[in-house]
Chain A
């Protein structure tokens, strides 16, 4: 692994990442985020100095194996309960803003 590679995040990367994160950043927030993310990346850059050749990534932290149950349908959450916290709903459905054909 190349250890002297320093990643720099510019504003266009921040704009792209914000889009992927479904967040909006105004001009000021975007500039602040460029500084913050570069600092954080500089900080985690330290990982590049660890030799991990041939090391398997550690992904699962538990040794538990699958526990099976009978394949029976259970109504654990009622429709009423599931809708109870929705900011906008009708009797049966979540209400969302119009998805298709907005402006064209």
Chain B
């Protein structure tokens, strides 16, 4: 069977009859089984997916199928699907089955998407390499000695490795875009509040967003329009109207694009990546867009601000894992307090504990103002500065990651080196703006890297349309 890069191609072949949906599900299942070493899927819902494929095929034949008929999706293992296991790749959620659907799952199912299984990730979405999973590291399908990025590493590996057509990820500081960059796919983090987080296992609630990971901009747009919009179960979900992004992928007129000079001159940036960015800048200028360097004096403050705030929020969000209500309970605990402590100590992995500890520290009396309060103030400075750039410019162009995928084990000993993986992506989460990683870079090694565009809040339509243009014109 051929490899499909977009639902448009799938639906064309469904229409002409050269393909049927159960066949497509079996194709992905056989790809998953052929490469177990990737460790992308933690669970495959094969039987259920095939049964659903038969039903949707029937509806499709009658012209009654939803707009996602043919979309075969993997879910990051932190998104709830009723009566299915979900674990945030943590031992502490061993045996847990969701008792309700996340809003995104409800909306995908309503449009006839098929959910194929759940995808490995860094434990509680904390990591940049997918090496923090309780179920083992995920390998990059393009080079199995390399990481796929993280935290949505299983999602990225599954989409890049043709184990499904699309996947959902979640992005708190780059967890959709950085793995998209390292595996050569399209990863979109929507505006904060664009998609409901009801049913997403929380990491840092003032940052987390769910988003699509796909092989085409069109699929990204289509999934966004299905999932976006207000939700009575998530008061942070915006009620702003949701455009039909997939039908509005034509960009009009000349754009104003900013790039941050310090970011391209940063010593950690690989020269080939830098060269590619300047090449794209020249190309955009030649097409008549204006592309200017802008000052952004806070590059060094982005990741520290992110770590203070997200660890603080995580320490609070993860307090719910107590060994009592659900999940893992230590067998040899005596008394209630000891049950909490032993269950959490045995259930959480090392990086999660580190972040809970730092978060508890920055929130503790005596340190709150110096760290947590300070970081909230710096967040406003970063937010306002980013908004100011986006008042004048339509987009901000940066690399998504500093380089191609790194080797498994390369950064695991140094948490700070791992944290700096997020240097170009966290700005969008700190400011709440949408950002997309496009597979527009390739090193001489053959491995990909992504180009990131940030846009204005709730202007995903412009962002996606311009992304489509950039993908079409790739040289």
What residues of chain A have their CB less than 8 Å away from a CB belonging to chain B? Answer: 1, 5, 7, 9, 13-14, 17-18, 20-25, 33, 36-37, 39-41, 43-50, 52, 55-64, 66-67, 69, 77, 81-82, 84-88, 94, 96-99, 102
B341 within 8 A of A: yes
Extra 16 A-B pairs, beta carbons < 8 Å, given A59-B376, A85-B325 = A13-B361, A23-B345, A23-B348, A24-B341, A24-B342, A24-B345, A36-B354, A36-B415, A43-B416, A46-B304, A55-B377, A57-B373, A62-B432, A85-B95, A85-B327, A99-B336
A40 near B358 (CB under 8 angstroms)? yes
**Chain B residues closer than 8 Å to A18, beta-carbon distance:** 357
* Pairs A–B under 8 Å by Cβ, sample size 16: A21-B344, A24-B345, A39-B415, A40-B307, A41-B358, A44-B304, A47-B374, A52-B378, A57-B380, A59-B206, A60-B206, A62-B432, A64-B235, A84-B97, A94-B325, A97-B339
B357 near A23 (CB under 8 angstroms)? yes
A58 vs B193: C-alpha distance when bound (angstroms): 16
Instruction: Kindly identify, within residues 375 to 393 of chain B, every residue whose CB is under 8 Å from any CB belonging to chain A.
Output: 375-381, 383
**Chain A residues closer than 8 Å to B356, beta-carbon distance:** 21, 23
A9 vs B348: C-alpha distance when bound (angstroms): 22
What residues of chain B have their CB less than 8 Å away from a CB belonging to chain A? Answer: 95-97, 99-100, 192-193, 206-207, 230, 232, 235-239, 298, 300-301, 303-305, 307-308, 315, 319, 322-329, 333-342, 344-345, 348, 353-354, 356-358, 360-361, 364, 367, 370-371, 373-381, 383, 415-416, 419, 432
A87 near B323 (CB under 8 angstroms)? yes
A44 near B371 (CB under 8 angstroms)? yes
A24 vs B377: C-alpha distance when bound (angstroms): 33
A98 vs B334: C-alpha distance when bound (angstroms): 8
A20's contact among B192, B238, B345, B364, by CB below 8 Å, is which?
A: B364
B192 near A62 (CB under 8 angstroms)? yes
A102 vs B432: C-alpha distance when bound (angstroms): 49
Least CB distance from A52 to B in Å reads 4
**Chain A residues closer than 8 Å to B303, beta-carbon distance:** 43
A1 vs B369: C-alpha distance when bound (angstroms): 11
A23 near B374 (CB under 8 angstroms)? no
A62 vs B367: C-alpha distance when bound (angstroms): 27
A48 vs B357: C-alpha distance when bound (angstroms): 21
Known: A21-B357, A43-B419, A98-B335. A62 touches B238 (CB 8 A): yes
A22's contact among B344, B376, B377, B419, by CB below 8 Å, is which?
A: B344
A62 near B193 (CB under 8 angstroms)? yes
A36 vs B192: C-alpha distance when bound (angstroms): 31
**Chain A residues closer than 8 Å to B371, beta-carbon distance:** 44, 47
A81 vs B232: C-alpha distance when bound (angstroms): 21
A50 near B298 (CB under 8 angstroms)? yes
**Chain A residues closer than 8 Å to B367, beta-carbon distance:** 7
